[in-house]
Every structure is written in C-alpha cells, then in structure tokens.
Amino acid sequence: MNRYPAWKNILVVAVIVLGALLALPNIYGEDPALQVAPDKREPMGELGLNRAKGFLDEAGVEFVAAHLEQDRVVVRFADKHIQSEAAAILGERFGDNYVVALTMEPRTPDWLRALGLQPMSLGLDLRGGVYFLYEVDLEGAISQTLERYRSDFRALLREEKIPYRSIDVSGDTVSLTLRNPDDLDTVNGLLRIYDAQLMLSDRRVGGAAVIRVGMNANLVKQRQDFAIQQNITTLRNRVNELGVAEPLVQRQGLSRIVVQLPGMQDPAQAKIVLGATATVDFRLVDQDSNPYEAQRRNRPPLGSKLYFERDGTPVLLKRDVIVTGDQLTDATSGFSEGQPAVFVKLGAKGARRMLATTKANLKKSMAVVFIEQVCDELGPGNTGCLKSSTREEVISIATIQGIFSSNFQITGLTPIESRDLALLLRAGSLAAPIFIVEERTIGPSLGQDNIDKGFEAVKIGFLAIFVFMILYYRVFGMVANLALVANLVLVVALLSLLQAVLTLPGIAGIVLTVGMAVDANVLIFERIREELRNGNSPQASITAGYGKAFSSIIDANITTLIAAVVLFTFGTGAIRGFAVTLSLGILTSMFTAIVGTRALINLIYGRRQHLDSLSI
C-alpha cells in the first residue's frame, strides 16, 4: 500500500499553506508613494507620521494610507500627479534635514504588514530607472595617497624640528631632501614607524641627503581596494541624499562600480551628484607676501601656495591645511544675512584643530578653497575620461573675529552651489575620481512591458505543459500540474521572504524551473509505466517508479544547482538574478515533484486494496 504517515502529509500541507501566505502580498499591486526619513537615518516614530499626515491635510492633498515602516514614514497616493504634488509639499515642510523619496509601495493589507510580510522586490529592468557603470581612477587614488604622504611628512619633520629643503612628489615616489645628512637615520626610523610597509632608499648629495619613499605592491593594492570601498560607501550616502528607494550600489570587477536607481527618471541630476568630487579645504591666508608678485614670478614663497579667487584675483594661502572636507560631520544649506551659506559641523578632531587655529590667529584671514575633479577630455561616445584635472579656487576669505571650533558657515556660493556642496559634504568625498563608462535610462513603461512579456512567457509555458501533461499522463498529469502551481507559489514565496530582487533574467530562471519541475515528474511517470508493462501491480509500480527514479532526479538537480551556485558566486547583476531564481526553483521543484506529487498520488490510489489499473 502507498501511504504517507500523517506527519508527512501534515508537512506537505503546512509548506503549501505557508508558501501561499508568504506569496500573498504579491497579488495586491502597487500605488505611487513617498518615503520620508531623516538624512541621518534616525527612526521617524509616530511623531513623524503624524507630522506628515498633518502637512498633507493642511495642503488639502488626499492620500490613500500612511504608515511607519522601519525607520521611515510611507504615504501612498491614488496617482502619480498627487504623488508629485505631495513630494513638493513634504520636501518644503520637512526641510533639508529630511529625504523625501518617490517610490512605488505595495497595497499590502495591514494584517499582512503586521506579520512582516512583503512582496518580492523588482529589479531595474522591471521597475524602470537609471543605471550607471563607473570606472574608478586607481592611479588617481595612488596620487592622492602620495600627496597625503607629502603633507604628513612635512608635519612630522616640523614636529621633530628636523630641517629640510623640500618634500616633492615625483612619479610614484615622495622625495625628502634633508639639510643635514646626519638626520638620515633618524628620519628613516620615523618613516618606518609611520608605516612599516613603505619602501625607503636614501643617498647623499653634496651637503644634503635625499630619501625616496615608495609604496610596495601590497600597499598599492590595499590603497586601491580602500579607494573602491570608500567610493562605494560615499556613493551609497549620495544615493540616500537623492531620495531613491531600494538603490543598488556594488563593485563589479577590479575597478568598476555599478549604481542602479530604480524609479528615478532624471539621469542628469543623478550624474551631477554621484560623479561630483567637490570638497573644501580651510587654510590661513599668507598676509606677509605679495600674491601679485608671486603670480608674476610664478614662484610662491616657501610654505605658501598660489590660488585664485573666482574673479581671477590671486591669493597666497598657507600650505598647511587646517581642516579638510572629510572631517565635516554635517552640512546644511541656507541663508545668512541674505546670502547663500552652508552651515557646517566638524568632528572632534577637526573641531580641536579649528579651535587651536582660531585661538592663535585672531584678526587674521582664513580662506575656504573649493576643490573639484573635472574631466578635460572624454573618451569615445562621451564615456570614460581620458584626461582629468583638479580645479581649486578660493570661494571665501574672512577675518577670524572670534574663537570657534565645531560650528561655523561657508559663504560665497550661489544658492544651487550651496545646496549641492552641502549635500556632497554630508555624503562624504570620493576617495578617488570616478568616470562614467556606461549609462542607461529605463522608462517605467518599458519596465512594465518587460513584466508583461515575462509573465506572458510563464503563462504560455504553463498552458503548454498543462495541456501536454493532462493529455499524455491523464490523472498523473493533473497531479503534476497541481505540483507545478505549488512550485511557482513556493518560488514567489521564497523570493518574498528573502527579499531577493526579481529581474528579467530571473523570470527566465522561473520559466526554466517550470520545465525542470515537470521533467522530474516525467521521469517518475515513465518509470511507473515501465513497471506496469513489465507486469507489476499498480501499487508496486507506483512504489518502484518513485523509488527508482529518485537517484536520477537528485543527480540531475544537484548538478544544475552546482552550476547555479557558480553563476551566483562569479556572476554580477543579471546573471545573479538568473542564478537566484534557478537555485530556489530547483529546491522547490524537488519538494513538489517528489514529495508533493507522491502525497497526492497516495491520497488518490494509496488506499485502494484492489487496484487494476492506473490513469497514466
């Protein structure tokens, strides 16, 4: 007799019911929505929810529903026109310290949301949005590191009161020229304490000594990896500032970064903010020298550097930097005395440095230098950058009237520049320049078209398989069809539970899984028919069919699963999306095709003591 124990039947029913519950949020569709969260990603709470509702009620804007989700407020609307109007209102009322993101929010009932259930996420090719592929300038990262070494070595020698003639960057090395050759061993020791991985070589030239400092291969790789990871972190922060829901920022290959912004249709704004390398430095003005004379002779005095204001006026600034942009912890744009301004806040280290500087330099001038990496020569098709340079200009010079440390303001900018600079300073500066290699914009209509075509393929595949299985295997074919439906439900349930992103190749993986799920049942059913032709009883044929086909099914699925794991491990983007759905489909199909169909066959035929034939 073919019977499952009660626990196994209960297990099958429980898995199917649980899968149906997890997949249920996907049938309700989506509404245009807004997500509101503080730029520091602090929880909004009930107060924030009530504020958002109050602002919309005051403006007479109707909304479908509003609720808290994790650290943000989510408000759904009936159409995109109301969504756009509400975004402008909430953006103005909440201010610069909050991010208002346009998105699509599922119409999940409250009772499902209370259980923590969500529909599966859709990828860029299904939802629409903007795609960027960036190339990180790894040579630029090394150049920035060498410049930092030069600055640190200068400060180190001054602190130790060791006289030197010059510290220059040449190629991939930093050269220190010491006035006294007797200091050679001392400086070598200090540099090894600074970083033991540095490559040092020295020689005596006349009455001086020269130390050449280079980076070994391990240090170069560490710096390049750090630059890429830091750029990924910075880009993620900038994406948050743009107000894009469910973004994707990840490394691709050795030196590239992929940025996907679902739902965003304006690539110009994203390109400006993501690719910008703007930051600021704060330096003291050299008031003891004549900048016009330095410009004429093209030779600034020792310890100073020649800069220019925006109107072309030359100005001499001290080489020593007081504070850099990466030491800022917060920045907001606004107005001060009727002029656009950026209100900044420094971290502990920067605040101590600023406090000491302002104490020692009252009534002296301090300048703000705006630093930006620009591309001078684009590659073919306006992608990539063949030649880049750094543009530095003085945007503000002010007299230090009092002592301050962590809080102050930057002026001398236009309203748009102040807004963008505040955003970039909040998000952080890039560790190395980046350039666009590829850019794509996928409209929402195209994304919906991809969804429609993908699911049309699934429907056609299902229908063709349904008809074939019923005509060829009769009752057993109908059982296989029911298992196929359960398999699809379980795949959707797992995608929803894991919050894996469904892409167009992912839909292809589901279609492939449909065929593979039926393939397992075909092996079982053909084995049963073979046993019947050999003269075995129907009950014995069922037992033999499932038992003898099991090893073949396991072998075939395990080898496919190994291939899917390899694709996921070494693939990126669309390839991973295909691998995820294929892997999940293999696991669910093995359960439904072997355990699920056996349970149904047992219910139909297992209790019959006198069984003469099978509808197969």
Stretch among 68-77, 231-240, 290-299, 499-508 having the lowest mean pLDDT = 231-240
- Helix or strand or coil: residue 506? helix
CB atoms within 10 A of CB 604: 16
Percent of the chain with pLDDT over 90: 7
Choose between 101 and 469: higher pLDDT: 469
Q: Report how far residue 282's alpha carbon sits from residue 346's, in angstroms, rounded to the nearest whole number.
A: 12
Is residue 157 over pLDDT 90?
no
Is residue 215 over pLDDT 80?
yes
What CATH class has 29-107? alpha beta
Q: How far is CA 481 from CA 22, 177, 462, in A?
A: 21, 81, 9
Residue range 539-563: mean pLDDT, rounded: 87
Contact 341, 333 (CB under 8 A): yes
Beta-carbon contacts of 378 under 8 Å, excluding residues fewer than 6 positions away, are 384, 385, 386
Tell me, what's the pLDDT at 573?
Answer: 66
Is residue 273 over pLDDT 90?
no
Q: How far is CA 518 from CA 12, 171, 362, in A?
A: 18, 63, 82
Chain segment 444-479, per-residue pLDDT in tens = 666 677 778 877 887 888 888 889 889 999 899 999
Beta-carbon contacts of 492 under 8 Å, excluding residues fewer than 6 positions away, are 22, 23, 26, 120
Residue range 234-255: mean pLDDT, rounded: 74
Is residue 216 over pLDDT 80?
yes
Is residue 396 over pLDDT 90?
no
Q: Report how far residue 292's alpha carbon sits from residue 299's, in angstroms, rounded to the nearest whole number.
A: 11
**Can you tell me which residue has the tokens 């003469």?**
612
Calculate the CA dihedral of residues 491, 496, 502, 505 and round it to 10 degrees. -10
Nearest alpha carbon to residue 186 among 204, 152, 160: 160
215 DSSP β-pair partners: 198
Q: What's the full length of the chain, in residues?
A: 616
Q: Report how far residue 299's alpha carbon sits from residue 287's, in angstroms, rounded to the nearest whole number.
A: 16
Q: Confidence class of residue 20 from pLDDT cuts 50, 70 and 90?
A: very high
- The DSSP annotation for 97-150 comes to TEEEEEEEEE---HHHHHTT--PPEE-HHHH-EEEEEEEE-HHHHHHHHHHHHH
Tell me, what's the pLDDT at 337?
Answer: 76
Identify which of 95-104, 121-130, 300-309 has the greatest average pLDDT.
300-309
Kind of pairing between the strands at 72-76 and 256-262: unpaired
- The DSSP annotation for 138-185 comes to HHHHHHHHHHHHHHHHHHHHHHTT--EEEEEEETTEEEEEES-GGGHH
Structure tokens at 35: 């997500």
Stretch among 295-309, 463-477, 546-560, 568-582 having the lowest mean pLDDT = 568-582
Is residue 256 over pLDDT 70?
yes
Tell me, what's the pLDDT at 422?
Answer: 72
Beta-carbon contacts of 459 under 8 Å, excluding residues fewer than 6 positions away, are none
When the pLDDT of each residue in the chain is averaged and rounded to a whole number, the result is: 81
Chain segment 484-495, per-residue pLDDT in tens = 999 989 999 999
Structure tokens at 104: 């699509």
Residue range 340-345: mean pLDDT, rounded: 80
Measure CA 323 to chain center. 29
Contact 436, 381 (CB under 8 A): no
Output phi, psi for 529, to 5 deg.
-65, -35
Chain segment 82-95, per-residue pLDDT in tens = 888 888 888 888 87
Q: At what angle do helices 267-275 and 217-242 cross, to 10 degrees?
A: 140
Question: How many CA atoms are closer than 13 Å to the CA of 252, on its beta-carbon side?
Answer: 19
Q: Report how far residue 30's alpha carbon sits from residue 107's, in angstroms, rounded to the nearest whole number.
A: 5
Vertex 595: Cα angle to 590 and 596 (nearest 5)? 95
Tell me, what's the pLDDT at 493?
Answer: 93
Tell me, what's the pLDDT at 364?
Answer: 87
- Helix or strand or coil: residue 304? strand
Q: Confidence class of residue 382 from pLDDT cuts 50, 70 and 90?
A: very low
Q: Confidence class of residue 378 from pLDDT cuts 50, 70 and 90?
A: low
- Helix or strand or coil: residue 37? strand
Measure CA 97 to chain center. 21
Contact 368, 395 (CB under 8 A): yes
Is residue 21 over pLDDT 50?
yes
Residue range 296-309: mean pLDDT, rounded: 87
Element (DSSP H or E) covering residue 15: helix 6-23
540-562 core/surface letters (b: 16 or more CB in 10 A; e: else): ebbbbbbeebbeebeebbeebbe
Stretch among 181-185, 262-266, 429-433 having the lowest mean pLDDT = 262-266
Structure tokens at 230: 């830091």
Give the domain ranges of the chain: 6-24+443-605, 29-107, 129-274, 276-436
Tell me, what's the pLDDT at 562?
Answer: 92
Q: Confidence class of residue 373 from pLDDT cuts 50, 70 and 90?
A: low
DSSP-derived letter for residue 309 is: B
Choose between 262 and 582: higher pLDDT: 582
Write the CATH number of the domain with boundaries 6-24+443-605: 1.20.1640.10
Kind of pairing between the strands at 339-346 and 328-336: antiparallel
Choose between 609 and 455: higher pLDDT: 455
Q: Is 296 exposed, middle or buried (0-12, 13-18, 19+ CB in 10 A)?
A: exposed
What type of residue is 48? G
Is residue 305 over pLDDT 50?
yes
Nearest alpha carbon to residue 280 among 395, 376, 415, 366: 395
Q: Confidence class of residue 16 from pLDDT cuts 50, 70 and 90?
A: very high
Give me the CATH topology for the region 276-436: Gyrase A; domain 2 (3.30.1360)
